[in-house]
Amino acid sequence: MGWIDITQPLNKNIATWAGDTKFIYETVATKEQTGSVNVGMLQMSLHSGTHMDAPFHFDSDGHTFEQLDFERCIGKVVVIECLDNDLIEVAQVEGKIAGVKAIFFKTKTIANAHIFPQEVPTLTLETVAYLKECGINLIGVDVPSVDKVASKELPIHHALAQQDIYIVENLLLEHVDAGRYDMIILPLLIEGADGSPVRAVIKEEEQ
């Protein structure tokens, strides 16, 4: 099997946080106008669709994207199903993450990327600590946040950053089975940025 795209398509219907910048793409100059090319313009929140958070997003002293290690965005990942759970506990990951540095949590079977969820499942602080003990340095979720939607303190964001674990949100995992994969999930190199869209792809690990 080839590479599997796990990126939410960016379009005018993509759900965004309340009050955040809506996604807009426009062709601002056409080939007929320029005589040679079509030219597009993009306006969006850096936290629309499938994206990575930089620590600066929730910590004014945190790293921005030019300071992050892109090499941890390429490698082995395990997808774990945690369906219909409010909390992701240590017991749900024990024995499943040996030999990988990244983990994706599949928490739903239908994406509905055009609908912003009223609530999302989150990791426990004990799970964050366990992931660090196991050598995990990147996690991904198929929801807009690793914290509860109304949270202002963002305890899981901060706990992950303290453990130097990168955060990817809004993965598209509805068509992906639990198991081990190769991954490429690269953010844009936006200097000074708190977030970045990513194109995320995985491929079944060869046995």
The reported pLDDT for the residue numbered 85 is 87
Q: Is 47 annotated in the active site?
A: no
Contact between 193 and 51 under an 8 Å Cβ cutoff? The reply is no
**pTM tops 0.75, yes or no:** yes
One CATH from 3.10.180.10, 3.40.50.2000, 3.30.70.270, 3.50.30.50 for 4-204: 3.50.30.50
Give dist(CA 130, CA 134) in Å, integer: 6
The CA radius of gyration of the chain, in Å to the nearest whole number, is 17
Give the Cα-Cα-Cα angle 78, 54, 186 (nearest 5 degrees): 50
The reported pLDDT for the residue numbered 172 is 98
* pLDDT tens-place values along the chain, 207 residues long: 799 999 999 999 999 999 999 999 999 999 999 999 999 999 999 999 999 999 999 999 999 999 999 999 999 999 999 998 899 999 999 999 999 999 999 999 999 999 999 999 999 999 999 999 999 999 999 999 999 999 999 999 999 999 999 999 999 999 999 999 999 999 999 999 999 999 999 999 876
Catalytic residue among 47, 57, 63, 175: 57
What burial letters (b/e) apply to 105-132, b meaning 16+ CB within 10 Å? bbbbeebebeebeeebbbbeeebbebbb
The reported pLDDT for the residue numbered 124 is 98
The total number of residues shown for the chain amounts to 207
Give dist(CA 88, CA 149) in Å, integer: 16
What residue spans define the domains of the chain? 4-204
The reported pLDDT for the residue numbered 207 is 67
Residue among 112, 110, 114, 111 at smallest CA distance from 12 = 114
